[in-house]
Amino acid sequence: MDLNTIDPDFIKDLLNSDRATWIVAQNLRLNGYTISLPPINIRPNTTLIKQYGDSGDLLVGSNVIEVKQRPDIDFNNLQEFPYKTIIIDVKHHYDNLKTPPLYYVICNSNLTGAIIVSNKTRNKWTESTRWDNKRKRSRTFYLVELDYCNYWDFNEKPKFYFETTSTIA
């Protein structure tokens, strides 16, 4: 099916989400990390979704980082996030990844900070089927309680651990 029919905002949404990726990449670089950004390949139609899926938004060495943004929610710390859990990813997307992200960086609406979900908390994730207003269908997501997350204010040094570098505190 044609993208304009099934998801007319796909390219606009993709480019908006890429803005968050660039801001996270810039802040990691400002804190001494060497990052790489894979190319963006836009699928011509929805039948090619599997061939055009990515395996992460940015890399620190060989460590995959997935960047998401909650453009509808403004929060500046974990306490301001309005829910006790946060959606990490769509279940089938995560389950089909060859290399799961080491971290999910879920940015706030104004791109000044993010909730960090480590893949080391995977055993704490739960599944929840919810109505997706954007896609107009039920989808199953992975969620985690905020108790297992950290907050990164982009004005502060990040507290990540990567196999190729030491912890920056």
Mean pLDDT of 152-159: 92
Q: Kindly list the domain boundaries of the chain, sorted by start residue.
A: 3-153
For residues 158 and 153, what is the distance between their CA atoms, to the nearest angstrom? Answer: 8
**Structure confidence by residue, pLDDT tens digits, 44-101:** 655 655 555 566 899 998 899 999 999 999 999 999 999 999 999 999 989 988 899 9
- Find, among 105, 104, 148, the residue nearest to 126 by Cα: 148
Q: Which residue has the higher pLDDT, 35 or 165?
A: 35
What's the pLDDT at 166? 42
What's the pLDDT at 134? 76
What's the pLDDT at 165? 46
The owner of tokens 């739960």 is 126
* Beta-bridge mates of residue 66: 104
CATH number 3.40.1350 is the correct assignment for the domain at 3-153: yes
Q: How confident is the model at residue 163 (pLDDT cuts 50, 70, 90)?
A: low
pLDDT at 13 over 60: yes
* Whether the Cβ atoms of residue 19 and residue 37 lie closer than 8 Å to each other: no
For residues 147 and 1, what is the distance between their CA atoms, to the nearest angstrom? Answer: 41
Q: Return the percentage of the chain with pLDDT > 90, whole number.
A: 63
For residues 74 and 88, what is the distance between their CA atoms, to the nearest angstrom? Answer: 17
